[in-house]
């Protein structure tokens, strides 16, 4: 027996079922047993008098009427019968499952799992539990698809456990940790997560597996941090203090206390012999870009090149123009994007390679194999969560292990940031520049849009500009949303002779997008209808209104990013969220947006409402897809795992310590799945 045995070794699994299980990512016995239930049902039988409306429960009673199937509509039917429990007679219904009629017989006792309707005093059946079923069982519910049934997964898991496969999971946690946290063994936890004897046993098994997953994750992060702390791991960038001070002195504004603090941290990293791997967090409009510019200039004064990678062409153009305006002709700066003409790109690549160009701003084109730097000292990624792990890894490997600064305006609560990005130092700009006026945010229904358009006329007459954001480019049959093209046509008609309206979206050619943005900046356009292509970094101080259509389709962080495109000038700014949300969560999200302006508070709310997977984007952020753990809800376990991982890495020659052998072996095996 081996955990790598094919699932085909189990009874009832032939070639077709092997292929079906593969669609769920299950090929081996290990895959099957590590495919844990995503929720559990408590099948303890209850008295009908103890039930509350909407509760799922097991009722045991005697069938007192013959089961009847009534057919209505196309392929629709309802099985009904009544059961008696004590002195209560309960109506039971099963929809579109006529075959269950054969499992119900009058005058016999039956056990039914269903959802209670207190108004009708009736049970909507979900499952008829067999005679062998033991009331009180706490059973798991698995993710399935059209190829694999729930009952099949349950059967095969039980079979694998009965054969003793769970005992083959070798313990990887040291005895000291098992005793300290009173954790059950690895093999016990695997078995109990599938077939717990009680809710308490399930919780203990989950606690064990969550800690194990998070400890391995933190050990990997700490190993990267440990390597970065080696004396010979980084560059020593001896920048000119005097030149940097002179640059700061000529800025048209004073840096905030928070900006000065994070700048000191970054500059100290540049001069140190250790490799810099720092995350710079800051709310929308907090002034991260100027910090990046100063860091790039510091690198330049020490004779090193620097590169800034951004997610969109529009943002690359904007940063390029900002740096050109700041440094003039003193520094050779180039823009490198995939949309450039071949001849122009070749000329820039040659100048980057021989060191003529000191600063490069671009999209993912910067990390292409053809790009070779002469003496790269600093790499910066803006909106780092937009880039995949491999993209960031390639960027880091350009040059001789350059210092790395990653920036994001999608804040993460500090404790979570330190834990999730455990291999990085975290700097936070937690204040906005002086003079930034708060943005007034309102939520209106679609019916109120005409009033919004009339009100906007007044704002346009004052010489201001506006954005209209739509979540779609063209019509979609699946979603009844106001698409950008239709919105552009409606607004053009409404404001005929009153305002100049333009359309911008991601499917346009780069030259078109650049021309439209330049026209908007020059106030040759009054209203810009766009998709979320303008979400990040676009800076037009004269734009004072942001109208977001179908706003309930966006997450809190994305809404905040969009809202951050306004409020950059002297005039008061307004964000209008247009939506008719159908869900409680959609309404709650829009209400929060009207009440909260702090990006870090919104980020916490977003995490709580949507979960880490959706907020970070598992594939994009580098977070592993944990089997059991959740970095938001299990934050306490995550923090404990981080502290333990730090202590383990502080032990000299810890690889040789016998109690850590299992952990180290498992860490090596998990590197591929976690980080690639």
What confidence category does residue 537 fall into, taking pLDDT thresholds of 50, 70 and 90? low
Rounded mean pLDDT of 476-487?
68
Contact between residue 286 and residue 600 where contact means Cβ atoms under 8 Å apart: no
Coil, strand, or helix at residue 40?
strand
What confidence category does residue 5 fall into, taking pLDDT thresholds of 50, 70 and 90? very high
Would you state the structure tokens that stand for residue 306, as one six-digit string? 């620097």
Higher pLDDT, 339 or 380: 380
Residue 164: strand pairing partners? none
- Report the range of poorest mean pLDDT among 234-243, 300-309, 332-341, 355-364: 332-341
Contact between residue 129 and residue 63 where contact means Cβ atoms under 8 Å apart: no
Closest CA to 284 of 468, 436, 388: 436
> How many Å apart are CA 312 and CA 309, to the nearest integer?
9
Contact between residue 630 and residue 618 where contact means Cβ atoms under 8 Å apart: no
Q: State the sign of the Cα–Cα–Cα–Cα dihedral 623, 626, 629, 633.
A: positive
pLDDT (0 to 100) of residue 617: 45
Exposure string over 517-554, b if 16+ CB within 10 A, otherwise e: beebbeeebbbbbbbbbbbbbbbbebbbbbbbbbbbbb
What confidence category does residue 622 fall into, taking pLDDT thresholds of 50, 70 and 90? very low
pLDDT (0 to 100) of residue 387: 47
Would you state the structure tokens that stand for residue 362, as one six-digit string? 């671009």
Rounded mean pLDDT of 196-210?
90
Rounded mean pLDDT of 139-162?
90
What confidence category does residue 72 fall into, taking pLDDT thresholds of 50, 70 and 90? confident
- Taking every pair of Cα atoms in the chain, the longest distance, rounded to a whole number of angstroms, is 95
Higher pLDDT, 168 or 424: 168
Contact between residue 510 and residue 518 where contact means Cβ atoms under 8 Å apart: no
What confidence category does residue 413 fall into, taking pLDDT thresholds of 50, 70 and 90? low
Q: Is the pLDDT of residue 150 over 50?
A: yes
Higher pLDDT, 165 or 556: 165
> How many Å apart are CA 434 and CA 449, to the nearest integer?
33
Coil, strand, or helix at residue 545?
strand
Within 10 Å of residue 362's Cβ, how many Cβ atoms?
Answer: 24
Q: Is the pLDDT of residue 76 over 80?
A: yes
Contact between residue 561 and residue 284 where contact means Cβ atoms under 8 Å apart: yes
Q: Is the pLDDT of residue 479 over 70?
A: no
Q: Is the pLDDT of residue 212 over 90?
A: yes
What confidence category does residue 618 fall into, taking pLDDT thresholds of 50, 70 and 90? very low
Percent residues over pLDDT 70 in the chain: 85
> How many Å apart are CA 72 and CA 393, to the nearest integer?
59
DSSP 410-477: S---HHHHHHHTTTSEEEEE-SPPTTPPPPEEEEE-GGGHHHHHHHHHHHHHTT-EEEEE-S-SS--S
Name residues whose C-beta falls within 8 Å of residue 626's C-beta, 6 or more positions apart in sequence: 210, 213, 214, 217
> How many Å apart are CA 607 and CA 613, to the nearest integer?
9
> Which region, left, alpha or beta, applies to residue 238 given φ > 0 means left and ψ of -120 to 50 means alpha?
beta
* Residue 323 backbone phi and psi in degrees, to 5: -70, -40
> How many Å apart are CA 111 and CA 92, to the nearest integer?
11
pLDDT (0 to 100) of residue 220: 80
Q: Is the pLDDT of residue 577 over 80?
A: yes
Rounded mean pLDDT of 298-320?
89
Contact between residue 150 and residue 142 where contact means Cβ atoms under 8 Å apart: yes
Within 10 Å of residue 202's Cβ, how many Cβ atoms?
Answer: 20
Contact between residue 592 and residue 543 where contact means Cβ atoms under 8 Å apart: no
Please state the pTM of the whole predicted model. Answer: 0.63
pLDDT (0 to 100) of residue 473: 56
Write down the mean pLDDT value for the chain: 84
- Report the range of poorest mean pLDDT among 134-138, 334-338, 353-357: 134-138
Residue 443: strand pairing partners? 577
Contact between residue 385 and residue 281 where contact means Cβ atoms under 8 Å apart: no
Task: Go through the chain and tell me how many residues it has.
Answer: 676
**Residue indicated by tokens 């209008």:** 576
Coil, strand, or helix at residue 91?
strand
Q: Taking the CA of residue 390 as centre, how many other CA atoms within 13 Å lie in the half-sphere pointing to its CB?
A: 5
pLDDT (0 to 100) of residue 443: 96
What confidence category does residue 508 fall into, taking pLDDT thresholds of 50, 70 and 90? confident
DSSP 269: H
Would you state the structure tokens that stand for residue 333, as one six-digit string? 């700066």
Coil, strand, or helix at residue 74?
coil
What confidence category does residue 394 fall into, taking pLDDT thresholds of 50, 70 and 90? low
> How many Å apart are CA 491 and CA 445, to the nearest integer?
18
Residue 588 sits at the vertex; the CA angle it makes with 586 and 592, to the nearest 5 degrees, is 120
* Residue 655 backbone phi and psi in degrees, to 5: -65, -30
Contact between residue 386 and residue 577 where contact means Cβ atoms under 8 Å apart: no
Q: Is the pLDDT of residue 43 over 80?
A: no
What confidence category does residue 492 fall into, taking pLDDT thresholds of 50, 70 and 90? very high
pLDDT (0 to 100) of residue 621: 44
Higher pLDDT, 238 or 538: 238
For residue range 100-149, list pLDDT tens digits in order. Answer: 998 888 888 888 889 999 888 899 988 887 655 555 567 788 988 888 98
> How many Å apart are CA 483 and CA 472, to the nearest integer?
5
pLDDT (0 to 100) of residue 393: 60
pLDDT (0 to 100) of residue 359: 95
pLDDT (0 to 100) of residue 401: 80
Contact between residue 270 and residue 295 where contact means Cβ atoms under 8 Å apart: yes
Q: Is the pLDDT of residue 672 over 50?
A: no
Residue ranges of the alpha helices (H) in 311-448? 313-327, 342-353, 389-396, 414-420
Q: Is the pLDDT of residue 155 over 60?
A: yes
For residue range 557-568, list pLDDT tens digits in order. Answer: 788 888 888 888
Exposure string over 635-668, b if 16+ CB within 10 A, otherwise e: bebbbbbbebbbebbeeeeeeeeeebeebbebbe
Coil, strand, or helix at residue 480?
coil
Residue ranges of the alpha helices (H) in 539-653? 556-563, 584-595, 599-610, 612, 618-621, 635-650
Rounded mean pLDDT of 502-518?
84
Residue ranges of the alpha helices (H) in 462-535? 484-494, 510-521
Residue 336: strand pairing partners? 362
Rounded mean pLDDT of 28-42?
89
């Amino acid at each position: 027996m081996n955990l790598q045995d094919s699932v085909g070794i189990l009874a009832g699994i032939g070639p077709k079922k092997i292929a079906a299980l593969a669609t769920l990512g299950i090929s081996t016995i290990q895959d099957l047993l590590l495919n844990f239930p995503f929720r559990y049902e408590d099948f303890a039988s209850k008295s009908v008098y103890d039930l509350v409306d909407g509760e799922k429960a097991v009722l045991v009673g005697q069938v007192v009427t013959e089961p009847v199937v009534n057919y209505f509509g196309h392929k629709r039917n309802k099985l009904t019968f009544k059961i008696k429990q004590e002195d209560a007679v309960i109506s039971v219904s099963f929809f579109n499952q006529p075959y269950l009629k054969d499992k119900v017989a009058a005058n016999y006792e039956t056990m039914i799992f269903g959802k209670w309707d207190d108004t009708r005093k009736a049970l909507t059946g979900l499952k008829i539990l067999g005679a062998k079923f033991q009331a009180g069982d706490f059973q798991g519910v698995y993710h399935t698809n059209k190829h694999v049934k729930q009952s099949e997964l349950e059967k095969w898991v039980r079979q694998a456990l009965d054969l003793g496969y769970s005992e083959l999971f070798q313990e990887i946690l040291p005895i000291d940790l098992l005793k300290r946290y009173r954790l059950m063994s690895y093999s016990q936890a695997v078995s109990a997560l599938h077939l717990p004897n009680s809710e308490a046993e399930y919780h203990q098994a989950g606690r064990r597996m969550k800690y194990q997953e998070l400890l391995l994750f933190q050990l990997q992060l700490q190993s990267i941090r440990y390597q970065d702390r080696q004396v010979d791991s980084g560059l020593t960038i001896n920048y000119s203090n005097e030149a940097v001070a002179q640059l700061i002195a000529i800025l048209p504004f004073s840096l905030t206390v928070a900006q000065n603090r994070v700048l000191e941290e970054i500059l100290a990293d540049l001069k140190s012999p250790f490799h810099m791997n720092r995350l710079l967090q800051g709310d929308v409009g907090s002034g991260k870009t100027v910090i990046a510019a100063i860091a790039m200039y510091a690198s330049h004064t020490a004779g090193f090149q620097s590169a800034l990678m951004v997610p969109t062409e529009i943002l690359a153009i904007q940063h390029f123009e900002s740096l050109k305006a700041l440094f003039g002709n003193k520094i050779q700066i180039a823009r490198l994007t995939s949309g450039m003409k071949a001849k122009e790109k070749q000329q820039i690549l040659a100048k980057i390679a021989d060191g003529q160009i000191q600063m490069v701003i671009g999209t993912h084109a910067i990390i292409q194999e053809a790009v070779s730097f002469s003496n790269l000292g600093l790499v910066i990624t803006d909106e780092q969560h937009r880039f995949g792990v491999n993209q960031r890894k390639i960027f880091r490997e350009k040059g001789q292990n350059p210092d790395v600064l990653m920036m994001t305006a999608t804040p993460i609560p500090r404790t979570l940031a330190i834990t999730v990005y455990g291999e990085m130092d975290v700097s936070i700009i937690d204040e906005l520049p002086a003079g930034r006026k708060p943005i007034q945010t309102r939520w209106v229904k679609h019916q109120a849009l005409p009033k919004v358009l009339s009100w906007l006329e007044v704002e346009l007459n004052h010489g201001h500009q506006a954005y209209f954001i739509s979540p779609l480019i063209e019509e979609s049959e699946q979603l009844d949303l106001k698409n950008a093209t239709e919105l552009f046509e409606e607004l053009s008609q409404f404001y005929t002779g009153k305002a100049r309206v333009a359309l911008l979206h991601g499917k346009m050619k780069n030259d078109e997008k650049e021309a439209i943005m330049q026209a908007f900046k020059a106030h040759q356009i009054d209203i810009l209808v766009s998709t979320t292509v303008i979400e990040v970094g676009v800076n037009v101080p004269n734009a004072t209104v942001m109208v977001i259509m179908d706003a309930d389709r966006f997450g809190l962080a994305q809404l905040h990013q969009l809202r951050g495109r306004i409020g950059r000038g002297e005039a008061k700014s307004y964000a209008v969220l247009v939506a008719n949300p159908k869900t409680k969560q959609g309404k709650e999200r829009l209400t929060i947006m009207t009440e909260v302006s702090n990006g870090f508070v919104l980020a916490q709310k977003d995490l709580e409402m949507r979960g880490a997977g959706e907020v970070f984007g598992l594939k994009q952020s580098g977070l592993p897809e944990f089997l059991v753990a959740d970095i938001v809800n299990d934050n306490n376990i995550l923090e404990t795992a981080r502290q333990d991982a730090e202590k383990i890495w502080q032990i000299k020659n810890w690889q040789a310590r016998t109690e850590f052998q299992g952990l180290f072996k498992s860490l090596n095996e998990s590197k591929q799945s976690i980080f690639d």
